Structure 1
Amino acid sequence: MALSFSEITQFLGHVWWPFMRFTGFFMVAPIFSDKAIPMQFRVMLAFILGLICSSLSGHVPAFNPFSFTTILLSGYQILFGWVLGYCVTIFMAIFTMAGQALSMQMGLGMAIMNDPSNGVNEAIVAKIFSITSIFLFLSFDAHLVVITVMADSFTFWPLSSPIPVSGLEHVLKMITWLFSSSLIISIPAMVVMLISNTVFGFMTKAAPQLNIFALGFPLTMLLGLIALSISIKGVGETYFDLTMQLKDHLYYIMGLKV
Protein backbone atom coordinates (compact mmCIF):
# COMPACT_ATOMS: atom_id res chain seq x y z
CA MET A 1 0.00 0.00 0.00
CA ALA A 2 1.62 3.23 -1.17
CA LEU A 3 1.11 6.45 0.75
CA SER A 4 1.13 9.80 -0.96
CA PHE A 5 3.12 12.78 0.30
CA SER A 6 -0.06 14.56 1.43
CA GLU A 7 -1.18 11.55 3.50
CA ILE A 8 2.23 11.33 5.18
CA THR A 9 2.29 15.04 6.01
CA GLN A 10 -1.28 14.86 7.32
CA PHE A 11 -0.28 12.09 9.73
CA LEU A 12 2.85 13.97 10.77
CA GLY A 13 0.76 17.09 11.40
CA HIS A 14 -1.47 15.24 13.87
CA VAL A 15 1.64 14.27 15.86
CA TRP A 16 3.95 17.23 15.24
CA TRP A 17 1.74 20.04 16.58
CA PRO A 18 0.91 18.33 19.92
CA PHE A 19 4.58 17.36 20.18
CA MET A 20 5.59 21.03 19.86
CA ARG A 21 3.07 22.09 22.51
CA PHE A 22 4.29 19.50 25.00
CA THR A 23 7.90 20.40 24.18
CA GLY A 24 7.24 24.02 25.16
CA PHE A 25 5.55 22.84 28.35
CA PHE A 26 8.44 20.60 29.39
CA MET A 27 10.94 23.40 28.74
CA VAL A 28 9.88 25.32 31.88
CA ALA A 29 7.50 23.12 33.90
CA PRO A 30 8.94 22.18 37.30
CA ILE A 31 10.25 18.63 37.75
CA PHE A 32 9.95 17.97 34.00
CA SER A 33 12.50 20.70 33.20
CA ASP A 34 14.96 19.69 35.91
CA LYS A 35 18.53 19.30 34.69
CA ALA A 36 18.67 15.87 36.35
CA ILE A 37 16.17 14.59 33.76
CA PRO A 38 17.96 13.79 30.48
CA MET A 39 16.92 15.80 27.44
CA GLN A 40 16.31 12.58 25.51
CA PHE A 41 13.76 11.47 28.11
CA ARG A 42 11.90 14.79 27.91
CA VAL A 43 11.80 14.68 24.12
CA MET A 44 10.59 11.07 24.17
CA LEU A 45 7.92 11.88 26.77
CA ALA A 46 6.73 14.87 24.73
CA PHE A 47 6.56 12.68 21.62
CA ILE A 48 4.60 9.92 23.40
CA LEU A 49 2.11 12.38 24.88
CA GLY A 50 1.82 14.13 21.53
CA LEU A 51 1.10 10.79 19.87
CA ILE A 52 -1.56 10.00 22.49
CA CYS A 53 -3.19 13.43 22.11
CA SER A 54 -3.07 13.33 18.31
CA SER A 55 -6.65 12.05 18.24
CA LEU A 56 -7.80 15.05 20.31
CA SER A 57 -6.34 17.70 18.03
CA GLY A 58 -9.28 17.63 15.60
CA HIS A 59 -8.66 19.80 12.56
CA VAL A 60 -4.94 20.45 12.28
CA PRO A 61 -3.18 23.08 10.16
CA ALA A 62 -1.46 21.91 7.02
CA PHE A 63 1.98 20.51 7.76
CA ASN A 64 4.71 21.14 5.23
CA PRO A 65 8.22 20.64 6.62
CA PHE A 66 9.63 22.96 3.94
CA SER A 67 7.34 25.95 4.54
CA PHE A 68 7.93 29.03 6.67
CA THR A 69 4.35 28.83 7.97
CA THR A 70 5.14 25.52 9.64
CA ILE A 71 8.05 27.14 11.47
CA LEU A 72 5.83 29.97 12.72
CA LEU A 73 3.06 27.62 13.85
CA SER A 74 5.63 25.40 15.58
CA GLY A 75 6.93 28.43 17.48
CA TYR A 76 3.35 29.35 18.41
CA GLN A 77 2.68 25.88 19.83
CA ILE A 78 5.94 26.00 21.79
CA LEU A 79 4.96 29.41 23.16
CA PHE A 80 1.52 28.16 24.21
CA GLY A 81 3.00 25.17 26.04
CA TRP A 82 5.66 27.43 27.56
CA VAL A 83 2.97 29.73 28.99
CA LEU A 84 1.15 26.85 30.67
CA GLY A 85 4.44 25.49 32.00
CA TYR A 86 5.36 28.92 33.34
CA CYS A 87 2.07 28.99 35.28
CA VAL A 88 3.10 25.75 36.99
CA THR A 89 6.47 27.37 37.76
CA ILE A 90 4.63 30.25 39.46
CA PHE A 91 2.71 27.69 41.50
CA MET A 92 5.91 26.00 42.72
CA ALA A 93 7.50 29.38 43.45
CA ILE A 94 4.80 30.00 46.08
CA PHE A 95 6.48 27.66 48.53
CA THR A 96 10.01 28.80 47.72
CA MET A 97 9.01 32.41 48.39
CA ALA A 98 7.30 31.40 51.64
CA GLY A 99 10.52 29.71 52.75
CA GLN A 100 12.56 32.77 51.76
CA ALA A 101 10.35 35.08 53.82
CA LEU A 102 10.43 32.76 56.81
CA SER A 103 14.22 32.35 56.67
CA MET A 104 14.66 36.13 56.78
CA GLN A 105 12.44 36.36 59.87
CA MET A 106 14.35 33.54 61.58
CA GLY A 107 17.71 35.18 60.97
CA LEU A 108 18.74 32.37 58.62
CA GLY A 109 18.80 34.48 55.50
CA MET A 110 22.57 34.02 55.33
CA ALA A 111 22.25 30.20 55.48
CA ILE A 112 22.42 29.65 51.73
CA MET A 113 23.26 26.52 49.78
CA ASN A 114 23.93 25.97 46.10
CA ASP A 115 21.32 24.06 44.15
CA PRO A 116 23.24 22.12 41.48
CA SER A 117 20.08 21.10 39.63
CA ASN A 118 19.07 24.71 38.96
CA GLY A 119 22.45 26.42 39.28
CA VAL A 120 21.21 29.01 41.79
CA ASN A 121 21.80 29.79 45.46
CA GLU A 122 18.84 29.18 47.73
CA ALA A 123 18.16 29.62 51.43
CA ILE A 124 18.07 26.38 53.41
CA VAL A 125 14.54 27.01 54.71
CA ALA A 126 13.35 27.82 51.20
CA LYS A 127 14.96 24.60 49.98
CA ILE A 128 13.08 22.64 52.65
CA PHE A 129 9.81 24.15 51.44
CA SER A 130 10.79 23.49 47.82
CA ILE A 131 11.54 19.81 48.45
CA THR A 132 8.30 19.47 50.44
CA SER A 133 6.33 21.03 47.60
CA ILE A 134 7.87 18.59 45.09
CA PHE A 135 6.86 15.60 47.23
CA LEU A 136 3.34 16.99 47.65
CA PHE A 137 3.17 17.75 43.92
CA LEU A 138 3.80 14.09 43.13
CA SER A 139 1.78 12.62 46.02
CA PHE A 140 -1.33 14.64 45.10
CA ASP A 141 -0.93 13.60 41.43
CA ALA A 142 -0.63 17.26 40.49
CA HIS A 143 1.65 16.25 37.61
CA LEU A 144 -1.24 14.24 36.19
CA VAL A 145 -3.54 17.24 36.68
CA VAL A 146 -1.36 19.55 34.61
CA ILE A 147 -0.87 16.90 31.90
CA THR A 148 -4.66 16.47 31.79
CA VAL A 149 -5.02 20.22 31.35
CA MET A 150 -2.50 20.06 28.52
CA ALA A 151 -4.52 17.28 26.88
CA ASP A 152 -7.73 19.31 27.30
CA SER A 153 -6.04 22.31 25.70
CA PHE A 154 -6.31 20.62 22.29
CA THR A 155 -10.10 20.58 22.73
CA PHE A 156 -10.63 23.98 24.35
CA TRP A 157 -7.87 25.80 22.48
CA PRO A 158 -7.43 24.18 19.05
CA LEU A 159 -4.13 24.29 17.22
CA SER A 160 -5.20 26.98 14.75
CA SER A 161 -6.69 29.33 17.36
CA PRO A 162 -5.33 32.89 17.65
CA ILE A 163 -2.98 33.95 20.43
CA PRO A 164 -4.87 34.12 23.79
CA VAL A 165 -4.14 37.77 24.63
CA SER A 166 -6.49 37.80 27.63
CA GLY A 167 -4.89 34.57 28.84
CA LEU A 168 -1.43 36.13 28.69
CA GLU A 169 -2.71 39.06 30.74
CA HIS A 170 -4.03 36.61 33.31
CA VAL A 171 -0.55 35.06 33.62
CA LEU A 172 0.72 38.46 34.79
CA LYS A 173 -2.13 38.67 37.29
CA MET A 174 -1.04 35.31 38.71
CA ILE A 175 1.96 37.10 40.22
CA THR A 176 -0.40 38.61 42.80
CA TRP A 177 -1.66 35.08 43.51
CA LEU A 178 1.97 34.06 44.04
CA PHE A 179 2.60 36.74 46.68
CA SER A 180 -0.73 36.33 48.49
CA SER A 181 -0.51 32.53 48.64
CA SER A 182 3.09 32.54 49.88
CA LEU A 183 2.06 35.01 52.57
CA ILE A 184 -0.82 32.76 53.65
CA ILE A 185 1.59 29.84 54.08
CA SER A 186 4.26 31.76 55.98
CA ILE A 187 2.11 34.18 58.01
CA PRO A 188 1.63 31.93 61.11
CA ALA A 189 5.37 31.49 61.59
CA MET A 190 6.01 35.14 60.74
CA VAL A 191 3.54 36.25 63.43
CA VAL A 192 5.35 34.06 65.97
CA MET A 193 8.66 35.64 64.98
CA LEU A 194 7.17 39.14 65.18
CA ILE A 195 5.87 38.50 68.69
CA SER A 196 9.21 37.06 69.81
CA ASN A 197 11.14 40.03 68.40
CA THR A 198 8.72 42.42 70.12
CA VAL A 199 9.23 40.62 73.45
CA PHE A 200 13.00 40.79 73.02
CA GLY A 201 12.70 44.50 72.32
CA PHE A 202 10.78 45.08 75.56
CA MET A 203 13.33 42.97 77.43
CA THR A 204 16.17 45.08 76.07
CA LYS A 205 14.37 48.26 77.11
CA ALA A 206 13.55 46.94 80.59
CA ALA A 207 16.96 45.37 81.26
CA PRO A 208 19.67 47.01 79.12
CA GLN A 209 22.35 44.90 80.81
CA LEU A 210 21.03 41.79 79.03
CA ASN A 211 23.07 40.76 76.01
CA ILE A 212 20.14 40.59 73.63
CA PHE A 213 22.32 39.50 70.71
CA ALA A 214 23.66 36.47 72.56
CA LEU A 215 20.23 35.61 73.96
CA GLY A 216 17.88 36.68 71.21
CA PHE A 217 19.47 35.08 68.17
CA PRO A 218 19.43 31.43 69.37
CA LEU A 219 15.95 31.83 70.87
CA THR A 220 14.67 33.42 67.67
CA MET A 221 16.11 30.56 65.65
CA LEU A 222 14.64 27.98 68.04
CA LEU A 223 11.18 29.55 67.95
CA GLY A 224 11.46 29.81 64.17
CA LEU A 225 12.26 26.11 63.83
CA ILE A 226 9.33 25.20 66.08
CA ALA A 227 7.00 27.44 64.07
CA LEU A 228 8.42 25.97 60.86
CA SER A 229 7.69 22.40 61.96
CA ILE A 230 4.14 23.35 62.92
CA SER A 231 3.57 25.21 59.64
CA ILE A 232 4.81 22.35 57.46
CA LYS A 233 2.48 19.87 59.21
CA GLY A 234 -0.57 21.82 58.05
CA VAL A 235 0.62 22.71 54.57
CA GLY A 236 -0.93 19.63 52.93
CA GLU A 237 -4.51 20.92 52.92
CA THR A 238 -3.36 24.33 51.72
CA TYR A 239 -1.36 22.66 48.97
CA PHE A 240 -4.41 20.75 47.75
CA ASP A 241 -6.46 23.96 47.60
CA LEU A 242 -3.67 25.73 45.70
CA THR A 243 -3.49 22.83 43.24
CA MET A 244 -7.18 23.23 42.47
CA GLN A 245 -6.65 26.99 42.09
CA LEU A 246 -3.80 26.30 39.67
CA LYS A 247 -6.10 24.09 37.62
CA ASP A 248 -8.70 26.88 37.51
CA HIS A 249 -6.05 29.39 36.43
CA LEU A 250 -4.88 27.15 33.60
CA TYR A 251 -8.42 26.67 32.30
CA TYR A 252 -9.08 30.40 32.62
CA ILE A 253 -6.06 31.12 30.43
CA MET A 254 -7.64 28.93 27.75
CA GLY A 255 -10.79 31.05 27.92
CA LEU A 256 -12.88 28.89 30.25
CA LYS A 257 -14.54 30.84 33.06
CA VAL A 258 -14.33 28.47 36.05
Structure 2
Amino acid sequence: MTPLGTGLAIEPQLWALVFVMVRIGAAFIAAPVFGAMTMPVIVRVSLSGAIGVLVLGTHSIVPPAQIFALTTFLSVAAEALVGFALGFVLQIAFAAPMVASELIGTSMGIGFASAIDPQNGRSTPALGQFFSMLITLLFLAVNGHLVLVELIVKSYDALPPGAAWLGVDQVKNIALFGGYTFLAGLLLALPVGFLLLCLNLIVGMISRAAPSLNLFAVGMPASLAVGVVALALAMPAMGDYLLVIIDQALAAAGTLVLG
Protein backbone atom coordinates (compact mmCIF):
# COMPACT_ATOMS: atom_id res chain seq x y z
CA MET A 1 0.00 0.00 0.00
CA THR A 2 1.33 3.39 -1.02
CA PRO A 3 0.62 6.30 1.31
CA LEU A 4 -0.59 9.48 -0.33
CA GLY A 5 0.42 13.00 0.60
CA THR A 6 -2.39 13.34 3.15
CA GLY A 7 -1.30 10.38 5.18
CA LEU A 8 -4.34 8.40 4.01
CA ALA A 9 -3.36 4.92 2.84
CA ILE A 10 -5.31 3.59 -0.10
CA GLU A 11 -4.56 1.31 -2.98
CA PRO A 12 -3.37 3.40 -5.94
CA GLN A 13 -5.43 1.29 -8.35
CA LEU A 14 -8.59 1.89 -6.33
CA TRP A 15 -7.99 5.65 -6.23
CA ALA A 16 -7.40 5.66 -9.99
CA LEU A 17 -10.66 3.75 -10.54
CA VAL A 18 -12.63 6.15 -8.36
CA PHE A 19 -11.10 9.10 -10.17
CA VAL A 20 -12.04 7.65 -13.58
CA MET A 21 -15.58 6.84 -12.41
CA VAL A 22 -16.26 10.54 -11.74
CA ARG A 23 -16.58 11.40 -15.45
CA ILE A 24 -18.47 8.20 -16.27
CA GLY A 25 -20.88 8.54 -13.36
CA ALA A 26 -21.57 12.19 -14.14
CA ALA A 27 -22.41 11.27 -17.73
CA PHE A 28 -24.77 8.54 -16.57
CA ILE A 29 -26.51 10.88 -14.14
CA ALA A 30 -27.24 13.48 -16.85
CA ALA A 31 -27.81 11.17 -19.83
CA PRO A 32 -31.22 9.76 -20.75
CA VAL A 33 -31.97 6.09 -20.05
CA PHE A 34 -29.05 5.79 -17.59
CA GLY A 35 -30.23 8.82 -15.62
CA ALA A 36 -33.85 7.70 -15.35
CA MET A 37 -35.43 7.64 -11.92
CA THR A 38 -36.22 3.94 -12.39
CA MET A 39 -32.55 3.09 -12.91
CA PRO A 40 -31.21 1.71 -9.60
CA VAL A 41 -28.19 3.49 -8.20
CA ILE A 42 -26.34 0.20 -7.73
CA VAL A 43 -26.69 -0.49 -11.48
CA ARG A 44 -25.35 2.95 -12.36
CA VAL A 45 -22.37 2.55 -9.99
CA SER A 46 -21.66 -0.97 -11.27
CA LEU A 47 -21.70 0.18 -14.89
CA SER A 48 -19.45 3.12 -14.04
CA GLY A 49 -17.00 0.78 -12.33
CA ALA A 50 -17.02 -1.72 -15.21
CA ILE A 51 -16.39 1.01 -17.81
CA GLY A 52 -13.77 2.54 -15.50
CA VAL A 53 -11.86 -0.75 -15.49
CA LEU A 54 -12.04 -0.72 -19.30
CA VAL A 55 -10.69 2.83 -19.41
CA LEU A 56 -7.84 1.99 -17.05
CA GLY A 57 -6.94 -1.00 -19.22
CA THR A 58 -6.74 1.05 -22.41
CA HIS A 59 -5.46 4.41 -21.13
CA SER A 60 -2.64 5.44 -18.84
CA ILE A 61 -4.56 7.45 -16.24
CA VAL A 62 -2.48 9.18 -13.59
CA PRO A 63 -4.73 10.45 -10.78
CA PRO A 64 -3.66 13.35 -8.55
CA ALA A 65 -1.11 12.35 -5.96
CA GLN A 66 -2.98 13.94 -3.04
CA ILE A 67 -6.66 13.36 -2.34
CA PHE A 68 -7.41 16.40 -0.17
CA ALA A 69 -5.81 19.13 -2.24
CA LEU A 70 -7.06 22.05 -4.28
CA THR A 71 -5.66 20.66 -7.52
CA THR A 72 -7.46 17.38 -6.87
CA PHE A 73 -10.80 19.13 -6.30
CA LEU A 74 -10.32 21.10 -9.52
CA SER A 75 -9.48 17.92 -11.44
CA VAL A 76 -12.55 16.15 -10.09
CA ALA A 77 -14.71 19.15 -10.98
CA ALA A 78 -13.31 19.14 -14.53
CA GLU A 79 -14.02 15.42 -14.87
CA ALA A 80 -17.60 15.89 -13.63
CA LEU A 81 -18.10 18.83 -16.01
CA VAL A 82 -17.11 16.77 -19.04
CA GLY A 83 -19.40 13.92 -17.99
CA PHE A 84 -22.35 16.22 -17.31
CA ALA A 85 -21.83 17.95 -20.65
CA LEU A 86 -21.94 14.64 -22.53
CA GLY A 87 -25.15 13.55 -20.87
CA PHE A 88 -26.72 17.00 -21.02
CA VAL A 89 -26.36 17.22 -24.80
CA LEU A 90 -28.36 14.00 -25.18
CA GLN A 91 -30.89 15.21 -22.63
CA ILE A 92 -31.43 18.37 -24.70
CA ALA A 93 -32.44 16.28 -27.71
CA PHE A 94 -34.75 14.10 -25.61
CA ALA A 95 -36.63 17.26 -24.57
CA ALA A 96 -37.76 17.89 -28.17
CA PRO A 97 -40.63 15.34 -28.02
CA MET A 98 -41.87 17.08 -24.85
CA VAL A 99 -42.12 20.36 -26.76
CA ALA A 100 -44.02 18.59 -29.54
CA SER A 101 -46.38 16.95 -27.06
CA GLU A 102 -47.22 20.31 -25.50
CA LEU A 103 -48.08 21.79 -28.92
CA ILE A 104 -50.13 18.80 -30.07
CA GLY A 105 -51.80 18.15 -26.73
CA THR A 106 -52.93 21.75 -26.35
CA SER A 107 -54.39 21.79 -29.86
CA MET A 108 -56.16 18.47 -29.30
CA GLY A 109 -57.58 19.57 -25.98
CA ILE A 110 -55.81 16.94 -23.88
CA GLY A 111 -53.13 19.23 -22.49
CA PHE A 112 -54.64 18.79 -19.02
CA ALA A 113 -54.11 15.01 -19.10
CA SER A 114 -50.83 14.41 -17.30
CA ALA A 115 -49.15 11.81 -15.13
CA ILE A 116 -45.80 11.15 -13.49
CA ASP A 117 -43.12 10.35 -16.06
CA PRO A 118 -40.99 7.43 -14.81
CA GLN A 119 -38.00 8.79 -16.75
CA ASN A 120 -37.59 12.02 -14.80
CA GLY A 121 -40.08 11.73 -11.93
CA ARG A 122 -42.00 14.87 -12.98
CA SER A 123 -45.54 15.42 -14.18
CA THR A 124 -45.70 15.45 -17.97
CA PRO A 125 -48.52 15.34 -20.54
CA ALA A 126 -49.79 11.87 -21.42
CA LEU A 127 -48.79 12.41 -25.04
CA GLY A 128 -45.33 13.44 -23.86
CA GLN A 129 -44.91 10.12 -22.05
CA PHE A 130 -45.77 8.30 -25.26
CA PHE A 131 -43.17 10.26 -27.24
CA SER A 132 -40.63 9.82 -24.43
CA MET A 133 -41.02 6.05 -24.44
CA LEU A 134 -40.87 6.02 -28.24
CA ILE A 135 -37.61 7.97 -28.48
CA THR A 136 -36.13 5.90 -25.64
CA LEU A 137 -36.92 2.64 -27.44
CA LEU A 138 -35.52 4.03 -30.70
CA PHE A 139 -32.40 5.21 -28.84
CA LEU A 140 -31.83 1.69 -27.54
CA ALA A 141 -32.71 0.13 -30.91
CA VAL A 142 -29.97 2.05 -32.74
CA ASN A 143 -27.49 1.25 -29.93
CA GLY A 144 -27.31 4.86 -28.82
CA HIS A 145 -26.39 3.75 -25.31
CA LEU A 146 -23.36 1.88 -26.69
CA VAL A 147 -22.37 4.92 -28.74
CA LEU A 148 -22.55 6.99 -25.55
CA VAL A 149 -20.24 4.56 -23.75
CA GLU A 150 -17.85 4.67 -26.72
CA LEU A 151 -17.82 8.47 -26.63
CA ILE A 152 -17.06 8.43 -22.91
CA VAL A 153 -14.12 6.10 -23.45
CA LYS A 154 -12.82 8.14 -26.41
CA SER A 155 -13.14 11.34 -24.41
CA TYR A 156 -10.12 10.25 -22.35
CA ASP A 157 -8.03 10.56 -25.53
CA ALA A 158 -9.36 13.98 -26.57
CA LEU A 159 -9.76 15.36 -23.03
CA PRO A 160 -7.30 13.54 -20.76
CA PRO A 161 -7.53 14.06 -17.00
CA GLY A 162 -5.74 17.23 -16.04
CA ALA A 163 -6.63 18.94 -19.33
CA ALA A 164 -10.34 18.25 -19.36
CA TRP A 165 -11.69 21.78 -19.01
CA LEU A 166 -14.21 22.60 -21.73
CA GLY A 167 -13.28 25.53 -23.92
CA VAL A 168 -15.39 28.55 -24.75
CA ASP A 169 -16.28 27.15 -28.17
CA GLN A 170 -17.46 23.87 -26.68
CA VAL A 171 -19.68 25.61 -24.13
CA LYS A 172 -21.01 27.85 -26.90
CA ASN A 173 -21.88 24.80 -29.00
CA ILE A 174 -23.84 23.31 -26.08
CA ALA A 175 -25.81 26.55 -25.68
CA LEU A 176 -26.52 26.76 -29.41
CA PHE A 177 -27.61 23.13 -29.51
CA GLY A 178 -30.23 24.02 -26.90
CA GLY A 179 -32.11 25.90 -29.61
CA TYR A 180 -32.35 22.64 -31.55
CA THR A 181 -34.84 21.41 -28.96
CA PHE A 182 -37.44 23.97 -30.00
CA LEU A 183 -36.74 23.54 -33.72
CA ALA A 184 -36.99 19.75 -33.53
CA GLY A 185 -40.09 19.91 -31.35
CA LEU A 186 -41.81 22.25 -33.81
CA LEU A 187 -40.90 20.10 -36.80
CA LEU A 188 -42.02 16.96 -34.96
CA ALA A 189 -45.42 18.51 -34.18
CA LEU A 190 -45.83 20.13 -37.60
CA PRO A 191 -47.86 17.39 -39.42
CA VAL A 192 -50.44 16.96 -36.66
CA GLY A 193 -50.38 20.61 -35.65
CA PHE A 194 -51.09 21.78 -39.20
CA LEU A 195 -54.18 19.56 -39.49
CA LEU A 196 -55.46 20.75 -36.12
CA LEU A 197 -54.84 24.36 -37.15
CA CYS A 198 -56.90 23.79 -40.31
CA LEU A 199 -59.66 22.26 -38.18
CA ASN A 200 -59.68 25.27 -35.87
CA LEU A 201 -59.94 27.58 -38.87
CA ILE A 202 -62.91 25.61 -40.19
CA VAL A 203 -64.61 25.65 -36.79
CA GLY A 204 -64.00 29.40 -36.57
CA MET A 205 -65.59 30.01 -39.96
CA ILE A 206 -68.59 27.86 -39.01
CA SER A 207 -68.99 29.78 -35.77
CA ARG A 208 -69.17 33.04 -37.73
CA ALA A 209 -71.62 31.61 -40.26
CA ALA A 210 -73.90 29.92 -37.71
CA PRO A 211 -73.50 31.56 -34.29
CA SER A 212 -76.38 29.55 -32.87
CA LEU A 213 -74.45 26.26 -33.09
CA ASN A 214 -72.92 24.91 -29.90
CA LEU A 215 -69.37 24.58 -31.17
CA PHE A 216 -68.01 23.57 -27.75
CA ALA A 217 -70.00 20.34 -28.07
CA VAL A 218 -68.65 19.76 -31.58
CA GLY A 219 -65.19 21.33 -31.59
CA MET A 220 -63.63 19.33 -28.74
CA PRO A 221 -64.65 15.86 -30.02
CA ALA A 222 -63.65 16.87 -33.55
CA SER A 223 -60.22 18.09 -32.39
CA LEU A 224 -59.65 14.90 -30.44
CA ALA A 225 -60.75 12.65 -33.31
CA VAL A 226 -58.71 14.52 -35.93
CA GLY A 227 -55.69 14.56 -33.62
CA VAL A 228 -55.80 10.79 -33.02
CA VAL A 229 -56.22 10.04 -36.74
CA ALA A 230 -53.45 12.51 -37.65
CA LEU A 231 -51.11 10.94 -35.08
CA ALA A 232 -51.78 7.48 -36.53
CA LEU A 233 -51.12 8.67 -40.09
CA ALA A 234 -48.06 10.76 -39.23
CA MET A 235 -46.44 8.25 -36.84
CA PRO A 236 -44.10 6.68 -39.48
CA ALA A 237 -42.76 10.10 -40.45
CA MET A 238 -42.52 11.17 -36.80
CA GLY A 239 -40.62 7.99 -35.98
CA ASP A 240 -38.14 8.72 -38.78
CA TYR A 241 -37.64 12.24 -37.49
CA LEU A 242 -37.07 10.95 -33.96
CA LEU A 243 -34.20 8.92 -35.42
CA VAL A 244 -32.86 12.14 -36.95
CA ILE A 245 -33.03 13.81 -33.52
CA ILE A 246 -31.09 10.93 -31.95
CA ASP A 247 -28.49 11.09 -34.72
CA GLN A 248 -28.08 14.85 -34.25
CA ALA A 249 -27.70 14.42 -30.49
CA LEU A 250 -25.01 11.74 -30.83
CA ALA A 251 -23.23 13.86 -33.44
CA ALA A 252 -23.29 16.87 -31.13
CA ALA A 253 -21.94 14.77 -28.25
CA GLY A 254 -19.18 13.45 -30.50
CA THR A 255 -18.28 16.97 -31.61
CA LEU A 256 -18.13 18.05 -27.98
CA VAL A 257 -15.45 15.56 -26.99
CA LEU A 258 -13.74 14.80 -30.30
CA GLY A 259 -13.92 18.18 -32.02
TM-score by length of 1: 0.90
Aligned twin of 1:208: 211
Equivalent residue for 1:32, pick from 31, 34, 37: 34
Equivalent residue for 2:152, pick from 123, 131, 150: 150
- Once residues 37 and 142 of structure 2 are traced to their aligned partners in structure 1, the CA distance between those partners, rounded to angstroms, is 23
Counterpart residue type for residue 161 of structure 2: L
Residues 167-178 of structure 1 mapped to structure 2, 5 A cutoff: 167-178=170-181
Q: Is the 8 A contact 2:33 2:119 kept in 1?
A: no
Counterpart residue type for residue 106 of structure 1: M
Find the residue that maps to 1:127 and give its secondary structure: helix
Q: Is the 8 A contact 2:93 2:249 kept in 1?
A: yes
Find the residue that maps to 1:122 and give its secondary structure: strand
Q: Is 242-251 or 62-71 further displaced after alignment?
A: 62-71
Aligned twin of 2:76: 74
Residues 77-114 of structure 1: per-residue CA shift (max 9 Å, x gap): 11210111111111111112211211011111111223
- Once residues 122 and 111 of structure 1 are traced to their aligned partners in structure 2, the CA distance between those partners, rounded to angstroms, is 8
Residues 1-258 of structure 1 mapped to structure 2, 5 A cutoff: 4-5=2-3, 11-12=13-14, 14-58=16-60, 60-115=62-117, 118-165=120-167, 166-254=169-257, 256=259
Q: Is the 8 A contact 1:17 1:159 kept in 2?
A: no
- Once residues 184 and 119 of structure 2 are traced to their aligned partners in structure 1, the CA distance between those partners, rounded to angstroms, is 25
Q: Is 26-35 or 68-77 further displaced after alignment?
A: 68-77
- Once residues 119 and 172 of structure 2 are traced to their aligned partners in structure 1, the CA distance between those partners, rounded to angstroms, is 30
- Once residues 57 and 64 of structure 1 are traced to their aligned partners in structure 2, the CA distance between those partners, rounded to angstroms, is 21
User: Runs of at least 4 residues of structure 1 off by over 6 A?
Assistant: none
Q: Percent identity?
A: 25
1:35 Cα deviation from its structure 2 partner: 2.0
Residues 139-188 of structure 1: per-residue CA shift (max 9 Å, x gap): 11111111111111111221221521321121111111111111111101
1:9 Cα deviation from its structure 2 partner: 5.9
Q: Is the 8 A contact 2:82 2:164 kept in 1?
A: no
Tell me: CA distance 1:117–1:177, structure 2 relative to 1, closer, same or farther (3 Å): closer
- Once residues 53 and 232 of structure 1 are traced to their aligned partners in structure 2, the CA distance between those partners, rounded to angstroms, is 40
- Once residues 160 and 102 of structure 1 are traced to their aligned partners in structure 2, the CA distance between those partners, rounded to angstroms, is 47
Structure 1's unaligned 5+ residue stretches are: none
Aligned residues: 253
1:10 Cα deviation from its structure 2 partner: 5.2
- Once residues 134 and 2 of structure 2 are traced to their aligned partners in structure 1, the CA distance between those partners, rounded to angstroms, is 53
Q: Is the 8 A contact 2:36 2:118 kept in 1?
A: no
Counterpart residue type for residue 186 of structure 2: L
Q: Is the 8 A contact 2:170 2:256 kept in 1?
A: yes
1:58 Cα deviation from its structure 2 partner: 3.5
C-alpha RMSD over aligned residues: 2.0
Find the residue that maps to 1:254 and give its secondary structure: helix
Find the residue that maps to 1:42 and give its secondary structure: helix
Tell me: CA distance 1:236–1:58, structure 2 relative to 1, closer, same or farther (3 Å): farther
Tell me: CA distance 1:19–1:229, structure 2 relative to 1, closer, same or farther (3 Å): same
TM-score by length of 2: 0.89
